Amino acid sequence: MTAENEDYTEDELLEVESGDGENSGLFEHLSITVDKKQDPLRIDKYLQVFRQNSSRNKISQTCRAGNVIVNGVPVKQNYRVKPGDEISVLLAHPPRENFIIPQDIPIKIIYEDDDLVVVDKEPGMVVHPGHGNWDRTLVNALAYHFEKIGTKSDLDRVGLVHRIDKDTSGLLVIAKNEYALSYLAKQFFDRKTKRLYWAFVWGNVEQDEGTITGHIGRHVKNRMQMAVYEDGSHGKHAVTHYKVIERFRYMTWVECKLETGRTHQIRAHFKHIGHTLFNDERYEGHIPLRGQNLPKYKQFIHNVFEILPRHALHAHTLGFIHPVTKKEMYFESPMPPDMDAAIKKWRNYLEK
């Protein structure tokens, strides 16, 4: 979900901040039961009646990507609808879209072709216009970039496939046409992409590697947080695999692999096991872990917070199958300067 209009509820706005979980996947735009008196008709022609703003070509591309579902099964554009068919149309963007103003904002593009672009997002940049951030976003920057290079596209928007938080840095893939958007979104929905995150978390994570499992849903008291419900009473099933890269006595550098993609998944899961993300104010990670017998520890943490003034989370790798060539694409983003500086400061401090 993206923030499109000012009338979103607070709960909906929380879903907008897709965070480390990215809220990637597909949105149901249509759910139709075919009338009992309907004559057999190609589904691309049939759906034009319900999607008046979509060309037959766009509908065909959606079918090709496997995102038109009939009775639970993806169908091609030449499928003939029958009375009683249950049809769902899944698209990679929410039903409502906001007008995007192109803005000349520097962004780091690490790959681009006729179908997609891969961006290494800087921390502090909001991905999509929304509540409190109506411009100066990655989408505004991409709209300007596409306009400048004269990109021809059948999309009437910037084709976001997934999202990360404002303060999360790292890799994102953006589609440049309807087919690429649907094809890539299906890979995220089916969990076939390859993504690793780097995170700094408070405390010494005891196990060298492990798995955190627990349903993630909105916190019952703090609606701007997500919480973990181990009994499955609320939220959605979520699994995070992690591996320790380096320990800093009171902070640990971990690599995370998401088996699912829930809102704030890494942030909520690590808080749940007592290792909140370093300097994550929303989840109380800005409160220093008590340091025992370390000289000038409080001042040291304050200095690290100044170097790294955001939660320590970075989308390090991204792998997917190209929608047209069908070749595997793989990208890596190096440690961002603020996180790298924080690591060096920890190492120097503990060596003294």
CATH label of the domain that carries residue 289 = 3.30.2350.10
Q: Which of 48-52, 249-253, 270-274, 341-345 has the lowest mean pLDDT?
A: 48-52
**Rounded to an integer, what distance in angstroms lies between the CA atom of residue 314 and that of residue 31?**
37
Nearest 5°: the CA angle 137, 164, 94 is 75
* Selected catalytic residue, list 20, 115, 165, 280: 165
* DSSP-derived secondary structure letter, 307: H
Residue with tokens 């060298």: 208
Give the domain-ending residue among 69, 91, 113: 91
Q: Which of 10-19, 28-37, 282-291 has the lowest mean pLDDT?
A: 10-19
- Taking Cα atoms as reference points, which of 12, 85, 77, 10 lies closest to residue 44? 77
**Residue 264 forms part of a structural domain:** yes
231 is catalytic: no
Are 203 and 342 members of one domain?
Answer: yes
Task: Provide the pLDDT for residue 252.
Answer: 98
- How many of the other CB atoms lie within 10 Å of CB of 101? 14
- Taking Cα atoms as reference points, which of 314, 348, 222 lies closest to residue 20? 314
**Residue 249 forms part of a structural domain:** yes
Element (H, E) at 108: strand 108-112
Higher-pLDDT residue of 30 and 336 is 336
Task: Provide the pLDDT for residue 33.
Answer: 85
What domain range includes position 262? 196-316+333-351
Percent of the chain, pLDDT > 70?
86
Are 78 and 200 members of one domain?
Answer: no
Name the pTM for this structure: 0.75
How many CA atoms does the CB half-sphere of 107 hold within 13 Å?
30
Is the pLDDT confidence value at 296 over 70? yes
Residue 174 in 3-state DSSP?
A: strand
**Rounded to an integer, what distance in angstroms lies between the CA atom of residue 55 and that of residue 76?**
16
**Residue 170 forms part of a structural domain:** no
> What spatial distance separates the first Cα and last Cα of the chain, rounded to whole Å?
48
Domain tally, the chain: 2
Task: Provide the pLDDT for residue 297.
Answer: 92
Give the domain-ending residue among 57, 74, 91: 91
Task: Provide the pLDDT for residue 231.
Answer: 86
Quote helix, strand, coil % in the chain, to nearest 5: 25, 30, 45
Both tokens of 245, joined, read 């890269």
In this prediction, residues 128-157 reach a mean pLDDT of: 78
The pLDDT tens digits for 262-292 are 889 999 999 999 999 999 999 999 999 888 7
Contact 129, 137 (CB under 8 A): yes
Is the pLDDT confidence value at 210 over 90? yes
